[in-house]
Amino acid sequence: MGLFSKAGKTFEEAKQSYMSSKGATYVCRSCEERLTEEYDYCPHCGEDSVEKVE
């Protein structure tokens, strides 16, 4: 497997994992985006409503 093929496959796996929100432990209550790490403000909508998923 070539270098770029391997990098592309790794990127696609990471993208799919992110898109399916596997491992998301936080959620923005304003826009309902799931996040994998804690933020003071949502990186998607800018609101300060990021909370830990119970």
Alpha-carbon gap, residue 30 to 39, rounded angstroms: 13
Mean pLDDT across 6-23: 70
Domain count, the chain: 1
Nearest Cα to Cα of residue 29 among 11, 47, 10: 47
Residue 12 lies in a domain: no
Residue 30 lies in a domain: yes
Tell me: pLDDT of 29 over 90. Answer: yes
Q: In the numeric block, which tokens belong to residue 30?
A: 């304003």
* Partners of residue 26 on adjacent β-strands: 35, 52
Q: Looking at the chain, which runs of residues are DSSP E strands?
A: 26-28, 34-35, 50-52
Prediction pTM value: 0.55
Q: In the numeric block, which tokens belong to residue 13?
A: 């796996």
Alpha-carbon gap, residue 26 to 7, rounded angstroms: 28
Containing structural domain, residue 33: 24-54
